[in-house]
Amino acid sequence: MNSISKKEPIFRRKKFRSEAKKDMISGYLYIAPFFIIFTLIGLYPALFSIYLAFQKWNGLSPMKFNGLANFQLVLSDPLFWKSVYNTIIMGIMGTAPQLIVGLILAYLLNMTFLKFKGYFRVTIFMPYLTSMVAVALIFSVLFSNHESSLANYVLTHFLGMDPIAWAASEWGTKIAISIMVFWRWVGYNTIIYLAGIQSIPNDLYEAATVDGANKFQQLLFITIPMMKPFIILTVFTSTVGSMQLFSEPTVFLGADAFTRDEAMTIVMYLYRDAFKLQSFGTASATAIILLVIITIFAVINIRLTQGFGRKKRGVKE
Amino acid sequence: MSNQDKRSRKKFSIGSTIVYLFLFIASILSLFPFYWMFVMATRPSAAYNSIPPTLTPGNMLVENLNKVLNQIDFFGGMWNSFVLCSVVTIVVLFISSLAGFAFAKFKFPGKNIFFVAVLVTMIIPPQLGLIPQYFLISKAGLLDSLPGVMILFFLNPLGIFLMRQYITEAVPDELIEAAKLDGCSNFRIYWRIVLPIILPAFATLGIIVFTAVWGEFLWQFTILRDPETYTIQVALAQLSNTHNIDFGMILSGVFWATVPLLIVFLLFNRLFISSITDGSVK
């Protein structure tokens, strides 16, 4: 060992250089699987969608370039605008209450005196594990058109209202679908908020208590501002998610899903164009428009939440 | 101590009652559809028309299941879903941990650009490429086959992100250096040193991937048109895709499809819940 110590620097540098080269090759090799699959089935289809949006194509005969006609066709179709309207309405009704209730539940679940925490957490989270198809089927029975469906029973016997055709009326379908979205996701958001609340250092509250802040002030000036990143995250994901609503209305309406318009969403409109009407050009145009809509909502979202953060910080100072 | 005692006693009052009441109602509302699904799965379809509604289980659990089995290939669907989710989970764990390892511990030109590219792919809405993806799978002759469904799910940028975070924190550089001095190849380091350390992260990512693929609908619905290849989600959706609906049968199908996952969840609920926060918050 000692006898070769003089040679070591050269030897090590050489080894180091080849080592670095090996690392480089390994690095590229190890990230390659993702990028190869992505190029094949992620990037190429996304770009091809853009190409297809300017073609007239029924899937069989040769494509024909047709300029902006697909976009014109989609944007002048009342059913498309109906689907945009439906998507936004159900998005708001399904997610806004979900986030508020999730925040409240997380706050309560974090109370120090609370017993059975595990039980409450598990039960409130459970709906999230049910697949969207299962949720839609359960709710299609709970909220069926029959006068004797559980939802109608509650309406007529406890609230003194008329029964509603949940699967065949403008607001009935939207409310039923919003409720199922709410039911499935509220626990998920609660868990994320709970993680957020628990990440707030305790000394902040102790300092505030010393300064004489009551529980409500602490909630307003410590908990909510500190929760900002978590709120932004959930608002963002649920906004983007609600723009992509598909499974719930499709399964809830079953055989009527693509013939009725009360709950048709943008993705359902896209799906119908492509796989029911074989109009792949307009369907691709719809996909591009959907991307634009999602981007707009995402940007509005980021703008709003940034404003919200600044205002809160302003109050705190 | 006595002070604390007083405080906790004071909290055991109106305020705490309201808190308990609120949470109790929330947990009942969360559980009720499950219970009611069970009730309906054990009752004849006619029970549905009774007023007041039936709220206790009957004795037709097996009969309704038989009706489901006549209508759809239930066990075939469960098996297909299980195979689909298992293969996807294993492949995603492998691809993500390998790439995560590279991003965390190797130096190579363009590393940051590639990593940003991974993050950017997260933003692309899955519907954008749906139609070309469908034709791609069709061209490859993979329509109506599980491999045709799988390949899209192999793309999981979130997995790479999580693995990179975890490996950066949990695998010390010294350990890798030492292994290199001992003449370990990079892949051997990955296999013998990195993998054992990141097993907890595998549990997290595995749960996220498995449950997500299990519940996914649009893509499976698009690719699988032949009842032989239906996964459980597509098969279940067929139950309501008729004008002659049998509620007992529908909920029986949903019940049996939901129960296995719920049992696994109840056994490992801590793991499930922490996987959600790890997966989205980090």
pLDDT the model gives residue B157 = 94
Residue B254 has its nearest CB partner, among A137, A146, A149, at A137
DSSP codes joined into one string, A173-223: HHHHHHHHHHHHHHHHHHHHHHHHHHTS-HHHHHHHHHTT--HHHHIIIII
Q: Residues A19, A138: one domain? A: no
- A192-236: per-residue pLDDT in tens? 999 999 989 988 888 998 988 888 888 888 888 889 888 888 988
Split at pLDDT 50, 70, 90, the class of B194 is very high
Residues B130 and B216 in one domain: yes
Q: Is residue B260 part of a domain?
A: no
A110 touches chain B (CB under 8 A): no
- Residue A79 has a pLDDT of 96
User: Are both A116 and A19 inside the same structural domain?
Assistant: no
- Residue A284 and residue A151 share a domain: yes
| B95 and B167 belong to one structural domain | yes
Give contacts of A 21-50 with B, CB under 8 A. 22-24, 26-31, 33-35, 37-38, 40-42, 44-46, 48-49
Which amino acid, B191?
A: W
B225 and B183: one domain?
Answer: yes
Q: Does A69 touch chain B (CB under 8 A)?
A: no
Q: A122 and A234: one domain? A: yes
Q: Which residues in chain A have Cβ-Cβ distances shorter than 8 Å to B116?
A: none
Structural domain boundaries, residue A39: 8-52
Q: Is residue A138 part of a domain?
A: yes
Q: What is the pLDDT of residues B134-174, one digit of tens each?
A: 999 999 999 999 999 999 999 999 999 999 999 999 999 99
Whether residue A310 is predicted with pLDDT greater than 60 in this model: the reply is no
Among B106, B107, B217, the residue with its CB nearest the CB of A132 is B217
Contacts for B263-270 with beta carbons within 8 Å, 24 or more apart?
Answer: B265/A126, B265/A129, B266/A122, B268/B207, B269/A118, B269/A122, B269/A125
H/E element, B164: helix B157-170
C-alpha span between A235 and A220 (Å, rounded): 19
Do B58 and B23 fall within a single domain? yes
Residue at A205 is within a domain: yes
Instruction: Answer yes or no: do A185 and A239 share one domain.
Output: yes
**Which pLDDT score, from 0 to 100, does residue B86 have?**
97
Strand, helix or coil for residue A279: coil
Compare all CA atoms of chain A with the CA of B8 and give the residue at the minimum distance.
A113
Q: Which of B30, B65, B100 is the last residue of a domain?
A: B65
Arithmetic mean of pLDDT, A90-115:
92
Chain B partners within 8 Å of A33 (Cβ): 95, 98-99
Q: What is the mean pLDDT of residues A243-266?
A: 92
Same domain, A35 and A82: no
Provide the domain count of chain A. 2
Tell me, yes or no, whether A199 and A281 share the same domain.
yes
> Would the pLDDT of B191 be above 80?
yes
Q: Residue holding tokens 């048709």?
A: A264
Q: Which residues contact A294 (CB under 8 A, 6 or more apart)?
A: A240, A243, A244, B125
Q: Is residue B247 assigned to a domain?
A: no
Asked if B182 and B164 touch (Cβ cutoff 8 Å), the reply is no
Q: B50 and B79, same structural domain?
A: no
Count of domains in chain B?
Answer: 2
B128 and B34 within one domain: no
Contact yes or no for A147/A156 (Cβ under 8 A): yes
Using the predicted structure, report yes or no on whether residue A86 has a pLDDT greater than 90: yes
Residue of B10, B29, B108, B189 best to disrupt the A interface, most CBs of A under 10 A: B108
Does A173 lie in the same domain as A144? Answer: yes
Interchain CB contact of B82 with A (< 8 Å) = no
The HSE-up count of residue A245 (CA atoms within 13 Å, CB side) is: 33
Q: Are residues A116 and A174 in the same domain?
A: yes
Cβ-based neighbours of A68, under 8 Å, separated by 6 or more: A54
Domain for residue A30, yes or no? yes
Q: How far apart are CA A238 and CA A224, in angstroms?
A: 19
Which range of residues forms the domain containing residue B11? 2-65
ipTM of the complex: 0.89
Provide the pLDDT for residue A219.
85
Inter-axis angle of helices B157-170 and B269-281, to 10 degrees? 100
Over the Cα atoms of chain A, what is R_g? 27
Answer with the residue of higher pLDDT: B29 or A113. B29
Has residue A58 been placed in a domain? no
Same domain? For A28 and A81 the reply is no
Same domain, B228 and B97: yes
Report phi then psi at A65, rounded to 5.
-65, 130
Report which residue type is found at B65.
Answer: L
CATH of the domain at B94: 1.10.3720.10
| A76 close contact with B: CB closer than 8 A | no
Report the residue of B14, B23, B186, B250 to disrupt the A interface, i.e. the one with the largest count of A CBs within 10 Å: B23
pTM of the model: 0.88
Is residue A1 domain-resident? no
The candidate with the shortest Cα–Cα distance to B241, out of A270, A251, A249, is A251
**Residue at B168 is within a domain:** yes
| B174 within domain boundaries | yes
Q: Which residues of A touch B30 (CB under 8 A)?
A: 123-124, 126-127, 183, 187
Q: Which of the listed ranges A148-157, A220-229, B55-64, B82-91 does the model predict with the highest average pLDDT?
A: B82-91
Q: Is the pLDDT of residue A311 over 60?
A: no
Q: Where is pLDDT greater, at A9 or A236?
A: A236
Q: What is the pLDDT of residue A7?
A: 46
Q: How is residue A212 written in tokens?
A: 């004489």
Tell me whether A301 touches chain B (CB under 8 Å): no
**What is the distance between the alpha carbons of residues A128 and A145, in angstroms, rounded to a whole number?**
26
Q: Which of residues 175-234 of A touch B (CB under 8 A)?
A: 183, 187-188, 191-192, 194-196, 230, 233
The predicted model gives A279-283 an average pLDDT of 95
A127 plus A21 within the same structural domain: no
8 Å CB contact between A190 and A126: no
Mutate to test the interface with B, among A47, A133, A197, A238 (most CBs of B within 10 A): A133
- Report CA torsion sign: B184, B187, B191, B193: positive
Query: What's the gap in Å between the CA of A6 and the closest CA on chain B?
Result: 18
* Number of residues that this document lists for chain A: 317
Residue A313: band (very low, low, confident or very high) from pLDDT cuts 50, 70, 90: very low
The whole-number average pLDDT for the span A245-274 is 93
Same domain, B41 and B102: no
Tell me: do B103 and B164 sit in the same domain. Answer: yes
Q: Are residues A215 and A282 in the same domain?
A: yes
Sign (positive or negative) of CA dihedral A24, A30, A31, A32: positive
User: pLDDT tens digits, residue range A21-66?
Assistant: 888 999 999 999 999 999 999 999 999 999 999 999 998 889 999 9
Most B CBs within 10 A among A44, A128, A129, A297, hence the mutation to make, goes to A129
- Tell me if B128 is assigned to some domain: yes
Q: Does the CB of B17 have a partner CB in chain A at under 8 Å?
A: no
Report the residue from A23, A101, A251 with minimal CB separation from B240: A251
B41 and B88 both lie in a single domain:
no
Last residue of a domain, one of B13, B47, B65: B65
